[in-house]
């Protein structure tokens, strides 16, 4: 039996439209009530996997629930993206992904995709930014980009280069186009496989994400010639920029947090707040700096605007580099 106080509270709340606010407040407080699944589009042990697990660990510590990383590699991240699109929009499936080279690039890189990169996701917040690094074997004769260009010109199309990401495909195409060079692309499923061929000299060069390349360069396994950015990156201050090396490209890879479209607003707000807290933390900055990257501080509004802007930019990149869709 309802007490008079409870009856009056319920009646007043209903007449004032309070149930919606109350329900939202309850949803926000209740979420997350169970484990969260964080989808990774690349294999276990890859740089992507390491970063997804880092953010999952930080999220778990903040929200008090287990975050399970699910690796769903394939088709340069498309399989995982399609999986997230089909997932239930309840906040228990999240997507930590290279938004620049996957979502922003997808329409321009692939002949057919089964998702809309802008409208099929709830875009939570940016998280990481980094440049790719132009790498050669540590015992190669190429000390700078001019040396590499001279070699590629002398080979007259017989040299090979490796790619594993959309960013690498574009960066290599822009390098070759700028100097009117030819070389043969060798696509790899995973970065570790391709790096073995760079180190052995089977590949003349490769653009590698800074998180991977920085560690290998420090260990003496690779030589880094420059970044893909026009300005030196905070996380790799000793590496010449593309501009300093004579390259006109300006490619920054950024990572971001997404979820299936249709999250309840309280859950969306909770996720945005949690991830913004993670990205802004000293722990994240220190971790990313060691990985050759930097926090990308922003919010959901900024991320969506960035995605739209980069989607337009990738259209120009692909056209400029004359890249055939996959």
Phi, psi angle pair for 143, to nearest 5°:
-95, -15
Can you give the pLDDT at residue 28? 57
pLDDT at 138: 94
**What is the Cα–Cα distance from 36 to 260, expressed in whole angstroms?**
13
Instruction: Give the pLDDT score at 191.
Output: 81
Compute the CA torsion angle 118, 122, 126, 130 (nearest 10 deg).
Answer: -50
Task: Find the distance separating the first CA and the last CA of the chain, reported in whole Å.
Answer: 66
Banded pLDDT at 169 (limits 50, 70, 90): confident
Mean pLDDT across the stretch 169-194?
A: 90
Of the pLDDT bands very low, low, confident and very high (cuts 50, 70, 90), residue 241 is very high
Separation between Cα atoms, residue 106 and residue 76, nearest integer Å: 10
Q: Which of 22-36, 74-88, 109-123, 271-285 has the lowest mean pLDDT?
A: 22-36
What Å distances lie between residue 89 and 25, 93, 96, 97, 264, CA to CA? Answer: 18, 7, 15, 17, 8
pLDDT for the residue 21? 42
Report phi then psi at 244, rounded to 5: -65, -30
Residue 1 domain-assigned?
no
Please state the pTM of the whole predicted model. 0.76
- Identify the domain containing residue 75 by its residue range: 10-129+254-321
Give dist(CA 205, CA 300) in Å, integer: 37
The verdict on residue 3 lying in a domain is no
Residue-level pLDDT at 22: 45
Boundary (domain end) residue, out of 245, 267, 297 = 245
Q: For residues 114-138, give the mean pLDDT.
A: 95
pLDDT, position 2: 41
pLDDT of residue 23: 52
Q: What does DSSP say about strands 294-295 and 222-227: parallel, antiparallel, or unpaired?
A: unpaired
The residue among 106 and 265 whose pLDDT is bigger is: 265
Mean pLDDT computed over 274-287: 97
Residue 53 within a domain:
yes
Dump pLDDT digits (tens) for 44-67.
988 789 999 999 999 999 999 999
Number of domains comprising the chain: 2
Chain mean pLDDT for the chain: 88
- Burial of residue 154 (CB within 10 Å: 0-12, 13-18, 19+) is exposed
User: What does each C-alpha distance from 65 to 57, 61, 62, 137 come to in angstroms?
Assistant: 10, 7, 8, 43
pLDDT of residue 207: 95
Instruction: Identify the pLDDT of residue 26.
Output: 53
Residue 125: pLDDT band by 50, 70, 90 thresholds?
very high
Q: What is the pLDDT of residue 286?
A: 93
How does DSSP classify residue 201?
T
pLDDT of residue 10: 39
CATH of the domain at 152: 3.40.190.10
Q: Is there a single domain that holds both residue 122 and residue 269?
A: yes
CATH number of the domain within which 76 lies = 3.40.190.150
Enter the DSSP assignment of 323: P
Give the model confidence (pLDDT) of 184-222 as tens digits: 999 887 788 899 999 999 999 999 988 888 888 989 999
Rounded Cα gap, residues 157 and 147, in angstroms = 16
Of 197, 216, 245, which closes a domain?
245
Q: 110 or 63: whose pLDDT is higher?
A: 63
Predicted confidence at residue 193, as pLDDT, reads: 83
Of 16, 21, 59, 20, nearest in space to 37 by CA: 59
Q: Answer yes or no: is 89 within a domain.
A: yes
**pLDDT tens readout for residues 303-325:** 999 999 999 998 888 887 777 78
Q: For 77, which DSSP code? A: G
Task: Kindly report the backbone phi and psi dihedral angles of residue 43, in degrees, each rounded to the nearest multiple of 5, phi listed first.
Answer: -70, 160
């Amino acid at each position: 039996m309802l007490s008079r106080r409870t009856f009056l509270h319920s009646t007043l709340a209903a007449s004032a439209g309070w149930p919606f606010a109350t329900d939202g407040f309850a949803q926000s407080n209740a979420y997350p009530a169970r484990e969260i699944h964080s989808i990774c589009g690349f294999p276990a042990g890859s740089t992507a996997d390491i970063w997804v697990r880092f953010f999952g660990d930080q999220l778990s510590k903040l929200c008090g629930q287990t975050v399970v990383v699910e690796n769903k590699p394939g088709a340069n991240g498309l399989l995982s993206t399609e999986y997230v699109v089909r997932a239930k929009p309840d906040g228990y499936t999240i997507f930590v992904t290279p938004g620049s080279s996957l979502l922003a690039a997808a329409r321009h890189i692939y002949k057919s995709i089964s998702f809309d990169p802008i409208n099929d996701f709830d875009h939570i917040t940016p998280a990481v930014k980094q440049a790719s690094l132009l790498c050669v074997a540590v015992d190669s004769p190429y000390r700078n980009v001019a040396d590499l260009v001279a070699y590629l010109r002398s080979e007259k199309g017989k040299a090979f280069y490796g790619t594993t990401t959309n960013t690498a495909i574009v960066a290599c195409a822009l390098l070759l186009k700028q100097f009117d060079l030819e070389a043969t692309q060798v696509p790899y499923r995973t970065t570790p496989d391709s790096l073995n061929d760079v180190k052995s000299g089977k590949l003349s060069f490769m653009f590698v994400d800074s998180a991977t390349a920085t560690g290998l360069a420090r260990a003496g396994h690779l030589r880094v010639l420059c970044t893909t950015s026009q300005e030196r990156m905070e996380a790799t201050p000793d590496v010449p920029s593309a501009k300093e090396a004579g390259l006109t490209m300006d490619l920054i890879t950024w990572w971001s947090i997404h979820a299936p479209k249709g999250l309840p607003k309280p859950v969306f707000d909770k996720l945005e707040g949690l991830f913004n807290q993670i990205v802004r933390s000293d722990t994240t900055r220190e971790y990313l700096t060691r990985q050759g990257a930097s926090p990308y501080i922003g919010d959901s509004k900024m991320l969506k605007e960035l995605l739209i802007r980069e989607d337009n930019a990738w259209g120009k990149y692909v056209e400029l580099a004359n890249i055939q869709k996959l």
